[in-house]
Structure 1
Amino acid sequence: MAATDLDLPLDVRLMAVATRALVALFAALAVGVIGLWAVRHPAWSVQSVLVQGDVVHQNAVSIRSQLAAPLRNALASGFLALDLRQVQRLFESVPWVRKAVVQREFPNRLRVTIEEHQPVAWWGAAGGGHLVNHLGEVFEATPDELEGLPELSGPEHQSAQVWALFQPLKAEFARHQLVLLKLQLNERGGWRAELEGGAVVELGRGTPEALQARVARFIGSLGQIQQRYPGPLQYADLRYPNGYALRVRGVTTLVEAPNTPPKTR
Protein backbone atom coordinates (compact mmCIF):
# COMPACT_ATOMS: atom_id res chain seq x y z
CA MET A 1 0.00 0.00 0.00
CA ALA A 2 1.37 3.37 -0.94
CA ALA A 3 2.26 5.67 1.90
CA THR A 4 0.14 8.82 2.35
CA ASP A 5 1.47 12.25 3.34
CA LEU A 6 0.39 11.51 6.90
CA ASP A 7 2.68 8.49 6.98
CA LEU A 8 5.71 10.68 6.24
CA PRO A 9 7.75 12.31 8.98
CA LEU A 10 6.71 15.85 9.97
CA ASP A 11 9.84 17.49 8.65
CA VAL A 12 9.35 15.83 5.27
CA ARG A 13 5.74 16.99 5.12
CA LEU A 14 6.78 20.58 6.00
CA MET A 15 9.44 20.49 3.32
CA ALA A 16 6.88 19.38 0.74
CA VAL A 17 4.51 22.17 1.73
CA ALA A 18 7.31 24.74 1.54
CA THR A 19 8.37 23.43 -1.84
CA ARG A 20 4.85 23.70 -3.25
CA ALA A 21 4.53 27.24 -1.86
CA LEU A 22 7.81 28.33 -3.41
CA VAL A 23 6.84 26.82 -6.75
CA ALA A 24 3.52 28.68 -6.66
CA LEU A 25 5.29 31.94 -5.71
CA PHE A 26 7.84 31.62 -8.49
CA ALA A 27 5.09 30.80 -10.95
CA ALA A 28 3.16 33.91 -9.93
CA LEU A 29 6.27 36.06 -10.20
CA ALA A 30 7.03 34.63 -13.60
CA VAL A 31 3.52 35.37 -14.81
CA GLY A 32 3.79 38.90 -13.45
CA VAL A 33 7.15 39.54 -15.09
CA ILE A 34 5.97 38.13 -18.39
CA GLY A 35 2.78 40.17 -18.19
CA LEU A 36 4.68 43.36 -17.38
CA TRP A 37 7.10 42.67 -20.24
CA ALA A 38 4.20 42.09 -22.59
CA VAL A 39 2.38 45.24 -21.49
CA ARG A 40 5.50 47.39 -21.91
CA HIS A 41 6.65 45.75 -25.11
CA PRO A 42 7.18 48.25 -27.93
CA ALA A 43 4.48 46.46 -29.88
CA TRP A 44 1.97 47.86 -27.34
CA SER A 45 3.26 51.43 -27.33
CA VAL A 46 0.87 54.23 -28.32
CA GLN A 47 1.61 55.06 -31.93
CA SER A 48 -0.88 57.88 -32.46
CA VAL A 49 -3.29 60.16 -30.60
CA LEU A 50 -6.35 61.26 -32.56
CA VAL A 51 -7.87 64.51 -31.25
CA GLN A 52 -11.33 65.39 -32.49
CA GLY A 53 -14.35 67.44 -31.51
CA ASP A 54 -16.34 70.53 -32.42
CA VAL A 55 -13.66 73.07 -31.49
CA VAL A 56 -13.22 76.72 -32.35
CA HIS A 57 -10.56 78.09 -30.02
CA GLN A 58 -8.27 75.04 -30.02
CA ASN A 59 -7.12 72.46 -32.54
CA ALA A 60 -5.26 69.18 -32.45
CA VAL A 61 -1.91 70.76 -33.35
CA SER A 62 -2.05 73.48 -30.68
CA ILE A 63 -3.24 71.05 -28.01
CA ARG A 64 -0.45 68.59 -28.76
CA SER A 65 2.13 71.37 -28.64
CA GLN A 66 0.86 72.53 -25.25
CA LEU A 67 0.87 68.99 -23.84
CA ALA A 68 4.00 67.66 -25.57
CA ALA A 69 6.12 66.89 -22.48
CA PRO A 70 3.45 65.73 -19.99
CA LEU A 71 1.65 63.68 -22.64
CA ARG A 72 4.87 61.96 -23.65
CA ASN A 73 5.47 61.00 -20.01
CA ALA A 74 1.92 59.72 -19.61
CA LEU A 75 2.14 57.58 -22.76
CA ALA A 76 5.46 56.03 -21.70
CA SER A 77 3.63 53.38 -19.65
CA GLY A 78 2.35 51.78 -22.84
CA PHE A 79 -1.01 51.26 -24.47
CA LEU A 80 -2.38 48.69 -22.03
CA ALA A 81 -1.02 50.17 -18.80
CA LEU A 82 -1.95 53.73 -19.72
CA ASP A 83 -3.93 55.69 -17.10
CA LEU A 84 -6.81 57.11 -19.12
CA ARG A 85 -7.88 59.40 -16.28
CA GLN A 86 -4.42 60.98 -16.21
CA VAL A 87 -4.58 61.65 -19.94
CA GLN A 88 -8.09 63.05 -19.55
CA ARG A 89 -6.95 65.48 -16.85
CA LEU A 90 -4.08 66.62 -19.06
CA PHE A 91 -6.40 67.51 -21.92
CA GLU A 92 -8.90 69.18 -19.61
CA SER A 93 -6.12 71.42 -18.26
CA VAL A 94 -5.83 73.11 -21.66
CA PRO A 95 -7.61 76.50 -21.90
CA TRP A 96 -11.06 76.36 -23.54
CA VAL A 97 -11.34 72.58 -23.05
CA ARG A 98 -14.32 71.80 -20.84
CA LYS A 99 -14.35 68.02 -21.15
CA ALA A 100 -12.21 65.32 -22.76
CA VAL A 101 -13.22 61.70 -23.38
CA VAL A 102 -10.22 59.37 -23.86
CA GLN A 103 -10.65 55.92 -25.42
CA ARG A 104 -8.25 53.14 -26.42
CA GLU A 105 -8.45 51.92 -29.99
CA PHE A 106 -6.62 48.67 -30.59
CA PRO A 107 -3.96 47.97 -31.35
CA ASN A 108 -2.08 51.18 -30.53
CA ARG A 109 -4.12 54.38 -30.89
CA LEU A 110 -5.86 56.76 -28.50
CA ARG A 111 -8.96 58.72 -29.49
CA VAL A 112 -9.58 61.95 -27.57
CA THR A 113 -12.92 63.71 -28.07
CA ILE A 114 -12.84 67.35 -26.97
CA GLU A 115 -15.77 69.47 -25.82
CA GLU A 116 -15.00 73.18 -25.71
CA HIS A 117 -16.50 75.78 -23.44
CA GLN A 118 -19.14 77.81 -25.22
CA PRO A 119 -18.70 81.37 -23.91
CA VAL A 120 -21.90 83.32 -23.31
CA ALA A 121 -20.73 86.11 -21.00
CA TRP A 122 -17.76 87.64 -19.25
CA TRP A 123 -17.39 86.94 -15.55
CA GLY A 124 -16.35 90.33 -14.24
CA ALA A 125 -14.98 93.02 -16.51
CA ALA A 126 -14.86 92.35 -20.24
CA GLY A 127 -11.44 91.13 -21.35
CA GLY A 128 -10.46 90.02 -17.86
CA GLY A 129 -9.84 86.39 -18.79
CA HIS A 130 -12.77 84.88 -16.88
CA LEU A 131 -15.79 83.75 -18.87
CA VAL A 132 -19.10 81.97 -18.30
CA ASN A 133 -20.11 79.05 -20.51
CA HIS A 134 -23.61 78.03 -21.58
CA LEU A 135 -24.00 75.94 -18.41
CA GLY A 136 -23.19 78.86 -16.14
CA GLU A 137 -19.70 77.58 -15.31
CA VAL A 138 -16.84 80.03 -14.87
CA PHE A 139 -13.63 79.19 -16.71
CA GLU A 140 -10.35 80.89 -17.50
CA ALA A 141 -9.17 81.45 -21.03
CA THR A 142 -7.09 83.90 -22.99
CA PRO A 143 -9.58 86.37 -24.46
CA ASP A 144 -9.69 86.51 -28.23
CA GLU A 145 -12.11 88.15 -30.63
CA LEU A 146 -15.06 88.04 -28.25
CA GLU A 147 -17.37 90.98 -28.82
CA GLY A 148 -20.87 91.73 -27.65
CA LEU A 149 -20.83 89.44 -24.62
CA PRO A 150 -22.61 90.70 -21.50
CA GLU A 151 -20.82 91.06 -18.16
CA LEU A 152 -21.96 89.00 -15.17
CA SER A 153 -20.57 89.17 -11.65
CA GLY A 154 -21.16 87.83 -8.17
CA PRO A 155 -19.93 85.05 -5.90
CA GLU A 156 -18.32 82.52 -8.24
CA HIS A 157 -20.22 79.56 -6.79
CA GLN A 158 -23.44 81.30 -7.88
CA SER A 159 -22.42 81.90 -11.49
CA ALA A 160 -25.03 79.44 -12.79
CA GLN A 161 -27.74 81.32 -10.88
CA VAL A 162 -26.61 84.66 -12.33
CA TRP A 163 -26.60 83.29 -15.88
CA ALA A 164 -30.00 81.62 -15.37
CA LEU A 165 -31.57 84.93 -14.29
CA PHE A 166 -29.84 86.98 -16.97
CA GLN A 167 -31.63 85.19 -19.80
CA PRO A 168 -35.28 85.94 -18.86
CA LEU A 169 -34.40 89.45 -17.69
CA LYS A 170 -32.75 90.16 -21.04
CA ALA A 171 -35.97 89.12 -22.77
CA GLU A 172 -38.07 91.33 -20.47
CA PHE A 173 -35.96 94.43 -21.10
CA ALA A 174 -35.97 93.72 -24.83
CA ARG A 175 -39.76 94.17 -24.81
CA HIS A 176 -39.05 97.92 -24.47
CA GLN A 177 -36.03 97.89 -26.79
CA LEU A 178 -33.67 98.01 -23.81
CA VAL A 179 -30.47 95.97 -23.97
CA LEU A 180 -29.28 94.31 -20.78
CA LEU A 181 -25.47 94.48 -20.69
CA LYS A 182 -24.53 93.74 -17.08
CA LEU A 183 -26.05 91.80 -14.21
CA GLN A 184 -24.52 91.80 -10.74
CA LEU A 185 -25.31 89.81 -7.60
CA ASN A 186 -23.76 91.23 -4.45
CA GLU A 187 -22.73 89.37 -1.30
CA ARG A 188 -26.03 90.26 0.41
CA GLY A 189 -28.17 88.82 -2.36
CA GLY A 190 -29.08 92.12 -4.01
CA TRP A 191 -29.26 92.37 -7.80
CA ARG A 192 -28.32 95.27 -10.06
CA ALA A 193 -28.68 95.53 -13.83
CA GLU A 194 -27.00 97.93 -16.24
CA LEU A 195 -28.49 98.70 -19.63
CA GLU A 196 -27.03 99.89 -22.89
CA GLY A 197 -26.49 103.62 -22.57
CA GLY A 198 -25.45 103.34 -18.91
CA ALA A 199 -28.84 103.23 -17.17
CA VAL A 200 -28.71 101.37 -13.83
CA VAL A 201 -31.66 99.37 -12.52
CA GLU A 202 -31.68 98.30 -8.87
CA LEU A 203 -33.63 95.04 -8.70
CA GLY A 204 -33.29 94.29 -5.00
CA ARG A 205 -33.52 90.85 -3.46
CA GLY A 206 -35.95 88.01 -4.05
CA THR A 207 -36.53 84.78 -5.90
CA PRO A 208 -35.90 84.67 -9.65
CA GLU A 209 -39.66 84.63 -10.21
CA ALA A 210 -40.17 87.70 -8.00
CA LEU A 211 -37.39 89.58 -9.75
CA GLN A 212 -38.77 88.75 -13.18
CA ALA A 213 -42.25 89.90 -12.11
CA ARG A 214 -40.76 93.13 -10.74
CA VAL A 215 -39.01 93.87 -14.03
CA ALA A 216 -42.12 92.92 -16.03
CA ARG A 217 -44.22 95.46 -14.08
CA PHE A 218 -41.54 98.11 -14.60
CA ILE A 219 -41.31 97.47 -18.35
CA GLY A 220 -45.10 97.34 -18.65
CA SER A 221 -45.49 100.90 -17.37
CA LEU A 222 -42.26 102.42 -18.65
CA GLY A 223 -43.75 103.44 -21.97
CA GLN A 224 -46.40 105.63 -20.34
CA ILE A 225 -43.86 107.18 -17.99
CA GLN A 226 -41.51 108.06 -20.81
CA GLN A 227 -44.32 109.69 -22.77
CA ARG A 228 -44.55 112.14 -19.91
CA TYR A 229 -40.80 112.30 -19.25
CA PRO A 230 -39.21 111.59 -22.64
CA GLY A 231 -35.55 111.96 -21.61
CA PRO A 232 -33.17 108.99 -21.66
CA LEU A 233 -33.49 106.61 -18.73
CA GLN A 234 -30.64 107.01 -16.25
CA TYR A 235 -31.69 105.13 -13.12
CA ALA A 236 -34.55 103.03 -11.77
CA ASP A 237 -35.01 101.58 -8.30
CA LEU A 238 -37.45 98.66 -8.21
CA ARG A 239 -36.97 97.87 -4.52
CA TYR A 240 -40.18 99.63 -3.49
CA PRO A 241 -43.06 97.37 -2.47
CA ASN A 242 -45.69 99.05 -4.68
CA GLY A 243 -43.78 100.95 -7.34
CA TYR A 244 -40.39 102.24 -8.34
CA ALA A 245 -38.24 105.36 -8.35
CA LEU A 246 -37.26 106.64 -11.76
CA ARG A 247 -34.73 109.15 -12.98
CA VAL A 248 -34.51 110.35 -16.55
CA ARG A 249 -32.26 113.10 -17.80
CA GLY A 250 -33.20 116.25 -15.92
CA VAL A 251 -36.16 114.71 -14.07
CA THR A 252 -36.52 112.53 -10.97
CA THR A 253 -39.93 111.11 -10.15
CA LEU A 254 -41.49 108.58 -7.80
CA VAL A 255 -44.30 106.40 -9.12
CA GLU A 256 -46.57 104.83 -6.53
CA ALA A 257 -43.71 104.95 -4.08
CA PRO A 258 -43.49 105.94 -0.39
CA ASN A 259 -42.16 109.32 0.68
CA THR A 260 -38.81 107.93 1.81
CA PRO A 261 -36.52 105.87 -0.34
CA PRO A 262 -35.77 102.29 0.68
CA LYS A 263 -32.57 101.42 2.48
CA THR A 264 -29.77 100.14 0.31
CA ARG A 265 -29.61 96.36 0.54
Structure 2
Amino acid sequence: MTRNQPTAVVPFDVKLMNITATVMFMGCLAACVMAVGWWLMRTPAFNIGRIVVEGELVHNNAVTLRANVAPALKGNFFTVDLKSAQHAFEQAPWVKEAQVRREYPNGLRVILKEHVAEAFWGPDTGTGLVDKAGEVFEANLGELDREGLPRLQGPEGSALRVLQMFRMLAPTLRPLNVGLDGLTLDARGGWEMALDNEAVIKLGGGTAEEVLQRVQRFVRTLPQITSQYKRTAVALESADLRYDDGYALRLKGVTTGSSAAATPARARR
Protein backbone atom coordinates (compact mmCIF):
# COMPACT_ATOMS: atom_id res chain seq x y z
CA MET A 1 0.00 0.00 0.00
CA THR A 2 1.46 3.39 -1.15
CA ARG A 3 1.64 6.20 1.32
CA ASN A 4 1.26 9.91 0.31
CA GLN A 5 4.62 11.61 -0.02
CA PRO A 6 5.03 14.53 2.37
CA THR A 7 4.74 18.02 0.74
CA ALA A 8 8.03 19.87 0.61
CA VAL A 9 8.02 23.17 2.45
CA VAL A 10 9.80 26.01 0.61
CA PRO A 11 11.87 28.03 2.99
CA PHE A 12 10.91 31.65 3.48
CA ASP A 13 14.21 33.00 2.21
CA VAL A 14 13.74 31.06 -1.06
CA LYS A 15 10.26 32.53 -1.49
CA LEU A 16 11.67 35.99 -0.90
CA MET A 17 14.36 35.42 -3.51
CA ASN A 18 11.77 34.25 -6.06
CA ILE A 19 9.61 37.30 -5.44
CA THR A 20 12.60 39.59 -5.69
CA ALA A 21 13.69 37.98 -8.94
CA THR A 22 10.19 38.34 -10.39
CA VAL A 23 10.00 41.99 -9.39
CA MET A 24 13.41 42.68 -10.89
CA PHE A 25 12.45 40.90 -14.12
CA MET A 26 9.23 42.89 -14.43
CA GLY A 27 11.11 46.09 -13.71
CA CYS A 28 13.67 45.32 -16.39
CA LEU A 29 10.90 44.44 -18.85
CA ALA A 30 9.11 47.70 -18.11
CA ALA A 31 12.33 49.63 -18.54
CA CYS A 32 12.93 47.93 -21.89
CA VAL A 33 9.41 48.74 -23.03
CA MET A 34 9.85 52.37 -21.97
CA ALA A 35 13.19 52.56 -23.75
CA VAL A 36 11.69 51.15 -26.95
CA GLY A 37 8.77 53.53 -26.64
CA TRP A 38 11.12 56.47 -26.07
CA TRP A 39 13.09 55.47 -29.15
CA LEU A 40 9.95 55.04 -31.26
CA MET A 41 8.62 58.44 -30.26
CA ARG A 42 11.85 60.20 -31.15
CA THR A 43 13.20 58.34 -34.15
CA PRO A 44 13.03 60.43 -37.35
CA ALA A 45 11.33 57.53 -39.12
CA PHE A 46 8.06 58.48 -37.39
CA ASN A 47 8.14 62.22 -38.01
CA ILE A 48 5.00 63.44 -39.76
CA GLY A 49 5.98 63.16 -43.40
CA ARG A 50 2.65 62.86 -45.16
CA ILE A 51 -0.62 64.74 -44.75
CA VAL A 52 -3.53 63.68 -46.95
CA VAL A 53 -6.29 66.29 -47.26
CA GLU A 54 -9.72 65.19 -48.47
CA GLY A 55 -13.14 66.80 -48.83
CA GLU A 56 -15.06 68.98 -51.26
CA LEU A 57 -12.66 71.91 -51.31
CA VAL A 58 -13.97 74.94 -53.18
CA HIS A 59 -12.12 77.80 -51.49
CA ASN A 60 -9.07 75.93 -50.21
CA ASN A 61 -6.17 74.15 -51.85
CA ALA A 62 -4.80 70.94 -50.30
CA VAL A 63 -1.19 71.90 -51.02
CA THR A 64 -1.55 75.33 -49.45
CA LEU A 65 -3.35 73.92 -46.43
CA ARG A 66 -0.61 71.38 -45.79
CA ALA A 67 2.08 74.05 -46.12
CA ASN A 68 0.30 76.42 -43.73
CA VAL A 69 -0.70 73.90 -41.07
CA ALA A 70 2.33 71.57 -41.00
CA PRO A 71 4.57 74.04 -39.05
CA ALA A 72 1.93 74.20 -36.31
CA LEU A 73 1.98 70.42 -35.73
CA LYS A 74 4.11 69.39 -32.75
CA GLY A 75 5.50 65.89 -32.24
CA ASN A 76 5.60 62.81 -34.45
CA PHE A 77 3.17 60.09 -35.46
CA PHE A 78 2.83 58.87 -31.86
CA THR A 79 2.94 62.14 -29.96
CA VAL A 80 1.09 64.62 -32.19
CA ASP A 81 -2.05 65.99 -30.51
CA LEU A 82 -4.94 65.28 -32.88
CA LYS A 83 -7.16 67.86 -31.19
CA SER A 84 -4.55 70.54 -31.73
CA ALA A 85 -4.12 69.42 -35.34
CA GLN A 86 -7.88 69.60 -35.85
CA HIS A 87 -7.97 73.11 -34.39
CA ALA A 88 -5.11 74.20 -36.65
CA PHE A 89 -6.96 73.07 -39.78
CA GLU A 90 -10.21 74.67 -38.62
CA GLN A 91 -8.45 78.03 -38.34
CA ALA A 92 -8.01 78.10 -42.11
CA PRO A 93 -10.43 80.39 -43.99
CA TRP A 94 -13.70 78.76 -45.08
CA VAL A 95 -13.05 75.55 -43.09
CA LYS A 96 -16.12 74.61 -41.06
CA GLU A 97 -15.02 71.25 -39.67
CA ALA A 98 -11.93 69.05 -39.76
CA GLN A 99 -11.49 65.38 -38.84
CA VAL A 100 -7.90 64.25 -38.29
CA ARG A 101 -6.65 60.68 -37.80
CA ARG A 102 -3.28 58.92 -37.84
CA GLU A 103 -2.13 56.75 -40.75
CA TYR A 104 0.80 54.43 -40.00
CA PRO A 105 3.73 54.85 -40.17
CA ASN A 106 4.13 58.64 -40.44
CA GLY A 107 1.01 60.18 -41.91
CA LEU A 108 -2.17 62.06 -41.08
CA ARG A 109 -5.44 61.94 -43.00
CA VAL A 110 -7.60 65.06 -42.80
CA ILE A 111 -11.22 65.28 -43.96
CA LEU A 112 -12.40 68.85 -44.33
CA LYS A 113 -15.85 70.37 -44.65
CA GLU A 114 -16.16 73.94 -45.88
CA HIS A 115 -18.77 76.56 -45.10
CA VAL A 116 -21.36 77.21 -47.81
CA ALA A 117 -22.11 80.93 -47.74
CA GLU A 118 -25.84 81.70 -47.65
CA ALA A 119 -25.71 85.44 -46.95
CA PHE A 120 -23.53 88.32 -45.82
CA TRP A 121 -23.70 88.97 -42.11
CA GLY A 122 -23.37 92.31 -40.35
CA PRO A 123 -22.73 95.84 -41.65
CA ASP A 124 -21.69 96.57 -45.22
CA THR A 125 -18.12 97.26 -44.14
CA GLY A 126 -17.67 93.85 -42.51
CA THR A 127 -16.40 90.56 -43.91
CA GLY A 128 -18.85 88.33 -42.05
CA LEU A 129 -20.81 85.58 -43.75
CA VAL A 130 -23.43 83.14 -42.54
CA ASP A 131 -23.65 79.59 -43.83
CA LYS A 132 -26.74 77.52 -44.51
CA ALA A 133 -26.69 76.21 -40.94
CA GLY A 134 -26.82 79.74 -39.53
CA GLU A 135 -23.17 79.76 -38.41
CA VAL A 136 -21.30 83.05 -38.76
CA PHE A 137 -17.74 82.96 -40.12
CA GLU A 138 -15.14 85.32 -41.54
CA ALA A 139 -13.66 84.91 -45.01
CA ASN A 140 -12.13 86.76 -47.93
CA LEU A 141 -15.15 88.10 -49.78
CA GLY A 142 -13.15 88.10 -53.00
CA GLU A 143 -13.29 84.30 -52.93
CA LEU A 144 -17.08 84.11 -53.04
CA ASP A 145 -18.33 81.78 -55.74
CA ARG A 146 -21.90 83.13 -55.64
CA GLU A 147 -23.27 86.53 -56.59
CA GLY A 148 -26.30 88.35 -55.26
CA LEU A 149 -26.10 87.12 -51.68
CA PRO A 150 -28.51 88.96 -49.36
CA ARG A 151 -27.25 90.87 -46.32
CA LEU A 152 -28.56 89.84 -42.93
CA GLN A 153 -28.06 91.71 -39.68
CA GLY A 154 -29.06 91.18 -36.09
CA PRO A 155 -27.86 90.99 -32.49
CA GLU A 156 -25.11 88.56 -31.59
CA GLY A 157 -26.33 84.97 -31.64
CA SER A 158 -29.35 85.71 -33.85
CA ALA A 159 -27.91 84.64 -37.22
CA LEU A 160 -29.90 81.41 -37.49
CA ARG A 161 -33.15 83.15 -36.51
CA VAL A 162 -32.61 85.90 -39.09
CA LEU A 163 -31.72 83.34 -41.77
CA GLN A 164 -34.86 81.33 -41.04
CA MET A 165 -37.01 84.46 -41.25
CA PHE A 166 -35.37 85.38 -44.56
CA ARG A 167 -36.18 81.95 -45.97
CA MET A 168 -39.78 82.41 -44.87
CA LEU A 169 -40.26 85.90 -46.30
CA ALA A 170 -38.35 85.71 -49.60
CA PRO A 171 -40.85 83.44 -51.43
CA THR A 172 -43.74 85.60 -50.23
CA LEU A 173 -42.52 88.56 -52.33
CA ARG A 174 -42.40 86.72 -55.65
CA PRO A 175 -45.86 87.89 -56.83
CA LEU A 176 -44.55 91.48 -56.72
CA ASN A 177 -41.55 90.67 -58.95
CA VAL A 178 -39.15 92.14 -56.42
CA GLY A 179 -36.49 90.30 -54.47
CA LEU A 180 -35.53 90.38 -50.81
CA ASP A 181 -32.05 91.90 -50.72
CA GLY A 182 -31.59 92.25 -46.98
CA LEU A 183 -33.21 91.60 -43.62
CA THR A 184 -32.41 93.22 -40.27
CA LEU A 185 -33.48 92.33 -36.74
CA ASP A 186 -32.95 95.17 -34.27
CA ALA A 187 -32.22 94.91 -30.56
CA ARG A 188 -35.92 95.42 -29.72
CA GLY A 189 -37.09 92.57 -31.91
CA GLY A 190 -38.27 94.68 -34.84
CA TRP A 191 -37.74 93.53 -38.43
CA GLU A 192 -36.88 95.55 -41.52
CA MET A 193 -36.63 94.37 -45.14
CA ALA A 194 -34.54 95.84 -47.94
CA LEU A 195 -35.74 94.99 -51.45
CA ASP A 196 -33.65 94.75 -54.59
CA ASN A 197 -35.25 97.97 -55.89
CA GLU A 198 -33.79 99.76 -52.83
CA ALA A 199 -37.15 99.98 -51.05
CA VAL A 200 -37.12 99.71 -47.25
CA ILE A 201 -40.05 98.07 -45.46
CA LYS A 202 -40.55 98.16 -41.70
CA LEU A 203 -42.26 94.99 -40.52
CA GLY A 204 -42.50 95.50 -36.77
CA GLY A 205 -42.08 92.81 -34.16
CA GLY A 206 -44.01 89.80 -32.91
CA THR A 207 -43.82 86.13 -33.71
CA ALA A 208 -42.60 84.87 -37.06
CA GLU A 209 -46.19 83.98 -37.98
CA GLU A 210 -47.44 87.50 -37.15
CA VAL A 211 -44.72 89.12 -39.24
CA LEU A 212 -45.43 86.73 -42.10
CA GLN A 213 -49.14 87.55 -42.02
CA ARG A 214 -48.41 91.27 -42.27
CA VAL A 215 -46.14 90.70 -45.28
CA GLN A 216 -48.71 88.44 -46.95
CA ARG A 217 -51.40 91.12 -46.51
CA PHE A 218 -49.03 93.70 -47.95
CA VAL A 219 -48.22 91.57 -51.00
CA ARG A 220 -51.89 90.78 -51.57
CA THR A 221 -53.08 94.38 -51.49
CA LEU A 222 -50.14 96.40 -52.86
CA PRO A 223 -51.04 95.89 -56.55
CA GLN A 224 -54.42 97.50 -55.89
CA ILE A 225 -52.71 100.63 -54.54
CA THR A 226 -49.97 100.91 -57.17
CA SER A 227 -52.43 100.43 -60.02
CA GLN A 228 -54.28 103.56 -58.90
CA TYR A 229 -51.13 105.54 -59.65
CA LYS A 230 -50.29 103.53 -62.77
CA ARG A 231 -47.28 102.08 -61.02
CA THR A 232 -46.00 98.62 -60.11
CA ALA A 233 -44.26 97.32 -57.01
CA VAL A 234 -40.94 98.35 -58.57
CA ALA A 235 -41.94 101.96 -57.83
CA LEU A 236 -42.16 101.20 -54.12
CA GLU A 237 -39.84 103.42 -52.11
CA SER A 238 -40.78 102.52 -48.54
CA ALA A 239 -43.54 100.97 -46.48
CA ASP A 240 -44.47 100.67 -42.85
CA LEU A 241 -46.45 97.57 -41.91
CA ARG A 242 -46.51 98.24 -38.16
CA TYR A 243 -50.16 99.33 -38.16
CA ASP A 244 -52.90 97.04 -36.90
CA ASP A 245 -55.45 98.09 -39.51
CA GLY A 246 -53.28 98.59 -42.60
CA TYR A 247 -49.95 100.03 -43.70
CA ALA A 248 -48.39 103.21 -45.01
CA LEU A 249 -46.31 103.33 -48.17
CA ARG A 250 -44.43 105.73 -50.39
CA LEU A 251 -44.15 105.40 -54.18
CA LYS A 252 -41.45 106.86 -56.37
CA GLY A 253 -42.71 109.53 -58.73
CA VAL A 254 -46.01 110.10 -56.95
CA THR A 255 -46.10 113.75 -55.90
CA THR A 256 -48.58 116.47 -54.94
CA GLY A 257 -48.47 120.07 -56.22
CA SER A 258 -44.94 121.30 -56.73
CA SER A 259 -43.45 119.14 -54.00
CA ALA A 260 -40.61 116.93 -55.18
CA ALA A 261 -41.17 114.44 -52.40
CA ALA A 262 -43.20 111.31 -52.91
CA THR A 263 -46.56 111.27 -51.16
CA PRO A 264 -47.33 108.47 -48.71
CA ALA A 265 -50.39 106.40 -49.45
CA ARG A 266 -52.37 104.50 -46.83
CA ALA A 267 -53.77 101.05 -47.39
CA ARG A 268 -56.26 99.31 -45.14
CA ARG A 269 -57.39 95.72 -44.89
TM-score tier after normalising by the smaller chain length: 0.7 to 0.9
> Counterparts in 2 of 1:19-98, with a 5 A limit?
21=23, 24-71=26-73, 74=74, 77-98=75-96
Q: In the aligned structure 2, how far is the partner of 1:86 from the partner of 1:170?
A: 41
1:139 paired residue number: 137
> Which amino acid in 1 is paired with 2:126?
G
**Does residue 238 of the first structure (1) align with residue 237 of the second (2)?**
no
2:184 paired residue number: 184
Residue 144 of structure 1 deviates from its aligned partner by 0.6
Mean CA deviation greater in 101-110 or 88-97: 101-110
The answer to whether the 8 A contact 2:120-2:149 is kept is yes
1:178-235 deviation digits (Å, cap 9, x = unpaired)? 1111100111111111112221111111222222222111101111111113451111
- Aligned residue for 1:168, secondary structure, equals helix
Q: In the aligned structure 1, how far is the partner of 2:157 from the partner of 2:48?
A: 39
Residue 158 of structure 1 deviates from its aligned partner by 0.9
- Aligned residue for 2:176, secondary structure, equals coil
The answer to whether the 8 A contact 1:127-1:143 is kept is no
> Which amino acid in 2 is paired with 1:109?
G
Q: In the aligned structure 2, how far is the partner of 1:140 from the partner of 1:238?
A: 34
- Aligned residue for 1:94, secondary structure, equals coil
2:265 paired residue number: 253
2:9 paired residue number: 2
2:200 paired residue number: 200
> Counterparts in 2 of 1:154-193, with a 5 A limit?
154-193=154-193
- Aligned residue for 2:93, secondary structure, equals coil
Q: How many residues align?
A: 248
> Which amino acid in 2 is paired with 1:197?
N
> Which amino acid in 1 is paired with 2:245?
N
1:262 paired residue number: none
RMSD: 2.4
- TM-score norm. by structure 2 comes to 0.82
Q: In the aligned structure 2, how far is the partner of 1:137 from the partner of 1:70?
A: 26
- Aligned residue for 1:163, secondary structure, equals helix
Q: In the aligned structure 2, how far is the partner of 1:128 from the partner of 1:184?
A: 15
- Aligned residue for 1:144, secondary structure, equals helix
1:260 paired residue number: none
Q: In the aligned structure 2, how far is the partner of 1:61 from the partner of 1:230?
A: 60
> Which amino acid in 2 is paired with 1:42?
P
Residue 91 of structure 1 deviates from its aligned partner by 0.3
Q: In the aligned structure 2, how far is the partner of 1:229 from the partner of 1:29?
A: 94
Q: In the aligned structure 2, how far is the partner of 1:61 from the partner of 1:44?
A: 21
Residue 98 of structure 1 deviates from its aligned partner by 0.7
- Aligned residue for 2:188, secondary structure, equals coil
- Aligned residue for 1:55, secondary structure, equals coil
How many percent of aligned residue pairs carry the same amino acid? 39
Residue 70 of structure 1 deviates from its aligned partner by 1.0
> Which amino acid in 1 is paired with 2:250?
R
The answer to whether the 8 A contact 2:117-2:129 is kept is yes
